[in-house]
Amino acid sequence: MGQNPKSGVHIDYYLSEKRDSALLRLKVIDGKGNVIRSLSNSEKDKFEIWPGGPQKSILLSADRGVNRVVWDFTREPVPYIDEVFVYGNYSGGHVAPGTYTLRLIVDQDSVETTVQILADPRIKATMADYNLQQEMVISIEQAIKDIHESVNDMRSVKSQIKHYESMLVGRNDAEEIIKLGKEIIVKIDEWEAVLIQSDQKTYQDVINFHNQLNAQWMNLKDYVDSADPILTSGALDRFNDLKGEWSLFRQVKDQIINKELEQFNQLYKRLNLPLITIPNAQTGLK
């Protein structure tokens, strides 16, 4: 049975020998010189997919002979939060019609060509319409990136607080900082709960547990990132609503960092702890 070709730019490249030990990179560059998508033959980590998570990165083949990769017209995927289910699409937004440079780099050598992406002739839209659409989609992507990176950062803060708590437990002079650490963790959990829905594990869970702010942003991205670039008034209104909500919760995060966490750090300094601490010890090293 036949198979339809993948949607996107089909890029063929030839390697005279197998280059699996070399670093291959494909960079997609827009008309302003910005790298909007980058692919390589190297896996950054041992990534495993999960329901509601991102897909694995596209890897370049380094086999001898003719190789093919397909660029699907999208920018870099948005960052993810490990093991968190999101009812949405992690793919970056589709680029606007225009000329793009494809640069293949093998170690220090590179070759490049250009590709022209055309607008759908059935859609009556101007380049200004596409530019406005791009501005909104990129702003939405940035908001999702900010939310996910903020949650990852605050999860790291929680992990560090719990680590220090395990070292300080049993010290009479550490009661205040342990108490403050627990209060900060509660505030971070409450803040996180309005940004992501950690109770969703499958697609049916969406019925029982409401989507939170990050999923609402991703839903708006999928709606705006369509072949028709004309922005509706509803999309504009929703964008401004979500932008206002994220602004408020970003202020909450800043408050935790600049006030409570700063207070925690000052208390920690006051304890004058050594770099290496024996848990449950009343004093430092013996």
Identify the domain boundary among 94, 110, 125: 125
**65 and 36, same structural domain?**
yes
In this structure, is residue 229 part of a structural domain?
A: yes
Give the torsion through C-alpha atoms of 189, 194, 199, 200, to 10 deg.
-150
- Amino acid present at 17: E
- Inform me whether the pLDDT recorded for 50 exceeds 80: no
**119 and 146, same structural domain?**
no
pLDDT at 55: 76
Q: How many domains does the structure of the chain reveal? A: 2
Give me the mean pLDDT over the 226-242 stretch.
97
In this structure, is residue 278 part of a structural domain?
A: no
The half-sphere exposure of 12 on its side-chain side, counting CA atoms within 13 A, is: 2
Give me the mean pLDDT over the 17-23 stretch.
87
Would you tell me the crossing angle of helices 213-224 and 127-168 to the nearest 10 degrees? 160
pTM above 0.75, yes or no: yes
Give me the mean pLDDT over the 18-38 stretch.
93
Strand, coil or helix: what is 132? helix
Least-confidence region, from 14-23, 161-170, 272-281: 272-281
- Inform me whether the pLDDT recorded for 273 exceeds 80: no
pLDDT at 2: 75
Q: Is 74 exposed, middle or buried (0-12, 13-18, 19+ CB in 10 A)?
A: middle
**79 and 146, same structural domain?**
no
Q: Is the alpha carbon torsion for 228, 230, 233, 236 positive or negative?
A: positive
Chain centroid offset of residue 47 CA: 14
- Inform me whether the pLDDT recorded for 15 exceeds 90: yes
**138 and 265, same structural domain?**
yes
Nearest in space to 23 (alpha carbons), one of 80, 108, 102: 108
pLDDT at 284: 42
**135 and 110, same structural domain?**
no
**135 and 120, same structural domain?**
no
First to last CA, the chain: 74
In this structure, is residue 242 part of a structural domain?
A: yes
Give me the mean pLDDT over the 54-78 stretch.
92
In this structure, is residue 3 part of a structural domain?
A: no
- Inform me whether the pLDDT recorded for 281 exceeds 70: no
Expressed as residue numbers, the domain containing 195 is 130-271
Identify the domain boundary among 99, 125, 151: 125
SS3 breakdown of the chain: % helix, strand, coil, rounded to 5? 40, 15, 40
- The pLDDT tens digits of the residues spanning 125-179 come to 999 999 999 999 999 999 999 999 999 999 999 999 999 998 888 888 889 999 9
